[in-house]
Structure 1
Amino acid sequence: MVNLPLSPKLKAIVEVNEAKGNAYALSTLKSGRDYVERFSYALALKREGMYDEAIDVYKDLLKEKEDFIIYNNLANCYVGMNDLRKALEFYQSAINIQPNATTFYNMSQVYREMLDFEKADNYFSLSSKKDFNKIIRYRSISNNNPNRFVIDIGLPTQTIFKYAVLNTSYRNLDTSVLPLYYYPIAAIIILALYLYLMQRLKVNAYSCKRCGSVFCKKCEKRLFWGDMCLQCYRSLIKLDELEPKERISRLLKIYEYRSKKRNIIKILNMLVPGTGHVYAGSILQGLLFLWPLFFFTTLIILNCFCSFGINGYTHYWLNIICLLLIAFTYIITNLITKRRLTRGWV
C-alpha cells in the first residue's frame, strides 16, 4: 500500500489498517499523539477485544474530527460488547455524515442479530447498491472468520501516505530525484530517442533463404518477398528460358511460400497480437504490440489474486478498463497487419 522506508510506527499503522496484525501496533502506537497513530491504535485495541480502551480513544478522536469512519468503528466496539442499541446510534451517526456500503452492511448484520429481518434486508440491499463487490468480500470474510461479524473501516490510503511523507525518512531523500509523474514522460522521450537512433544507425543484415548468402539493406534497395537476395529473385523470375510446366511450377512455389507466410502471420496475430510481426522480422513493432497485451493481462491477474486487506477499496473497474484496452490492442494489431499484407508486406 505504501512503498516507502518504514519507520516502526508507520509499519504498525500499515499492518493494522491492512488487517495483517495488531500486536505490533499495540506495543508501538500506545504513546502516539498523531491522529493517524491514535486511530490505528484504537483499531488494534478493538480487534484484540479491548473495547473500553478503544472506545475512549475513538471518543477523543471525535472531539478533533467527526468522521463516519470513527463512528462506524466505534459502533463496532459496542457490537463487541453486545450493546446493539448503542451501536445502531453510532452507525446512524456515520450514515448521517456519509452513507457508505460498509456501515449499511454492519447495520444489516446487527438487525439480523436482533431478529429484525425486514430492516436487515433493507440495509443489506442499500449496501449492495452502494458497492456489490465489496459486500461479496465482506460475506466471505464473515463466513471464514466468525469474529469478523461486523466490518471495521481502515484509514484511506491517501491519509496513510500523507502521514508517511510527513513522518518518515522519505523527506530526507535526495531532492534531485524526479517527481513520480515525470517518469512516464521520461520513458516516452527515451523510447522516441531509441526509435530515432534505430532508424539512423542500425544496419540490418539478412540471410537469403535460397542460397544462404548474407546481404544488408543498404546494399539491397528492396527486400523481395521470400527473403531472397536479388540474384536468386532474378533467377526465379527469369522464366522465358524454362519449359511452360516448370515455369508454372516455380510460380506456384513462390505463391505458395508467400501465401503460407502470410497465413502464419495472420494466425499468430489472431492468437497473440504482435507475434506475427516478430515472426515476419518486425521485432520492435511486434514487441510494442505485445507489451500492452501482457501488461494489462498481468494487471487483471494481480487484481484478482492479490489482496490488500479490507480497507474498503475495490478495483474491479480496473479489470474492465484493462479488458477494453486488450480488446483495443487486439483489433488495432490485426487491422494494421491486414492493411500491411494488402499492400504487399512479405
Structure 2
Amino acid sequence: GTAESTKEEEDEFPDYPVPEGYRKKGSGNRAAAAGKPAQPAKQARPAAGREEKPPRGVKSAVGAEAAQQEQEQLAGAAEGTRIKFPSAGPEKLDELWQQRLEYLRNHDFDKAAETLRQFVELKEELELGNLYAHALVLVLQATRAMEARDEKRAERLLEAAERLAPLLPEPRLVIAWQWFKQDPLKPGRVLAKLKQAIAPVFDDPLAANRLVVNSVTVLLVGLLLGGMVFVVVQFLRYIRFFYHDFHHLLPRGVAWLQSSILATLLLLLPPLFGLGLPGILMEMVLVIWLYLQWKERVVSGVFVVLLVLLPFGLGWICERLQYPDTPGAKLWQIEKGNPSRELVAEMESALEAGSAGARSPVAAVLGRYYKRIGDFDKAERYYRMALEELPNSAELANNLANVLFMKKMLDDAVALYDQAIRFSPGAVEPYFNLSRVYYAKLELVKAKQYRENAGRLDEERLRQLQHQAATGLARYAVADMQWPAQWFRQKGRRASGVAERAAMVLWKNIGGFGTRSSFVFLGGGYILVLLLLLLAGGKWQLSLPCPRCGRPVCRKCDSDLPDTNTCGQCYHAFRKPDGVDPRARIEKEIQIRHRNRRLENVSRVFSFVLPGVGHIMKDKALSGAVLLALFSTAAALVLLRHGIMADPYKLGAAHDLGKLVLAAVIVVACWTWAAIALVRDRA
C-alpha cells in the first residue's frame, strides 16, 4: 500500500523515474525505508467539484480504468514514473528519414517537419553520437531555404542539424555567417558561434587526426622547401670559393680549367650514384659548411637535423593516415556515431577471432552499444567479457552495474558500484548511481548519504546528472562512465606493418637512399663530420669573401699581405695606395659600386618574388630564413589546400577558400616585412 511521506523526503529526493515494477518513494514511509512493513494510507475524500465514484456494484468502464490506475500507482509504475525506453531501434531511423524525403517530394512540409522531429528525438533516445551525413543534408536544405528567404525553416533545420551531429562545425559556421551578413558591426555573437564550431573538433578523434595530419604535412613541406632554397642560395654564393681552394689542393702545374672540371665531377657524384635529393642537399651543406658565417651555420644545421629526421616524420604521417581503418577508429564510430549493422558484425567477428587488438575495449564498446538499443542481455555478456580481462576497471564495473540496474538486479548492481568506487574514488557517477539504487529500494537514508558524497566530489556534475535523470530517458536513468581515450587509438596487428611499407615507398619516391632506419644512423654520422670540420677548419687556410668587392681573400695567393681581411686589389687600392695609379683606384671603386648596385637590384627583386632570399644575399641569415620559411609554408598551404587526408564531410569550397585566405595573409605579411627592410636599408 501507500503511506504518507514527509516534506523533507520529498525535497530530498526529486521525482526520478525508475524502471517499471519498482516502487517509488511515495509507496512507503520511513518505516518502509527502515525495513518495517508500511501501514496503509487513509483514503482521501474527493475534493469539491470532482467527480464522485460510481455507486458500489456498478462496474463501469471508468471505474475499471480508475482501478487499473490505482493498481499501477501502488506498484510505483504510474505515468511519469517509468523509465522511457527507446520507442524503436536504429532501423526505425532509416524509415523515418525515407518518410521525410517522401513528404518533401510531395511538398508536404508540415509532415516533413514532424517526421524530422521524431527522427531527432529517436536519435537522442538511442544515444547515438553524430549522424554526419544526415546533418549535412539538413545544412544544405537550410542553405536553400535561406536563398528562398525562408528564415524560420532554415533556423529549424540548422537547429536539428546541430542536435544530429554535435561535433560537426558546419551548422554553426552557417549560422555565424548568416549573423555576420545580417549585422557585420556586431561580431560578438558571431565570434561566440565560431568558438562553438571550432571547440568540438578535437573531441572527435577522426577530425582531430585529419586536422593534425594535414597541418603537420603542410608545415613539414614548407620547412623543407624553405630549407632547400636557403641551402641552394648559399651554395651558389660560396661555390666559387670552393673551386678556388680546390685548385690549391692540386699540383701547381694544373690549369684552372682542369681543376674546375675535376671539382665539378666530384660534385656530380651523388646524383650519378643515385643518392637522390637528400644526398644532394647534404653534399651542398658539406661543401659550403666551412665558408658559412655562424648564423648561416645555425640555419643550415637545423635544416640538416630536419632532413635526418624526415624518415621518422614520413612513418608518423603514414600511421596517422591509416587511423580511420584501425580498430580504435571503428570503435569510435560505434561509440559516438551511427554504426551500421555490418560494422557491428565486423567488430563482433573480430572479437571472437581475436584480431581486433585488445579484447576488453572492443567488448566494452559493444556492450555499451547494445545497452543503448535496449538489448541488456547482450550488453551484460560483453561487459562481463571485458571485465574478465580488466577486473580493476572502474568504468567497466560501473557500466555493467547500470545494465544490471535496468534488469532489476539491484544487489548485484550495488556490489559492482562499490567495486567502481574502490577503483576510482574520485568519480561522481558510482555515488550517484548508488543513490538511485537505494532510492529505488526505498532505503532513503543510504540514498541521501551517497547523493551527498557525490555532491562533495562535484556539485555541478551532480546537478547535471539529476537534471538528466528527471527527463525519464533510459540513457539518463543511471550515469555511465566514459571509456579511456587510449581505447580509441588502437592500431591493430597489421597497422604498423602497412604504415612501415607505405613510409618506405614515400622515402624512395623523394629520392631517399637506404632504409629509413639506416638513413638515421648515416645522418647521425654526417652531423658528427660537420662538428669535426668546425674543430679542424681553423687550421686550414680557406679563402674568404672580401668585404669590399667580394673576391676571394686567399692567404696562399697573397701570402705577403699583412692584412688577411681584404683581397690584394682592395688592399693596394684603399689600404696602401702608395705607387698605385689613381685611375686604377677609381676603376676599382667603380667596379665595387656596380657590384653593390647589382646585389641591391637582385635582392630587391627576390624580396618580392621569393621573400627571404634578398635578406640572405645581404648576410641577414636569421631574418631571411624566417621569411623564407613563412613564404614556403604559405606556398605549401596552397599546393596542399585539399589536404593529403580528405574530409569526407566537407561542405562546398569554404574550407579551401579559408586556407587560401590564410596563405594570402602570410604572403602579404612577408612582402610587408621585405618592403620595410628595403626602406631601412636605403635609409
Identify the TM-score tier after normalising by the shorter chain: 0.3 to 0.5
TM-score by length of 2: 0.26
RCO higher in structure (CA 8 A, sep ≥6)? 2
Larger radius of gyration: 2
TM-score by length of 1: 0.47
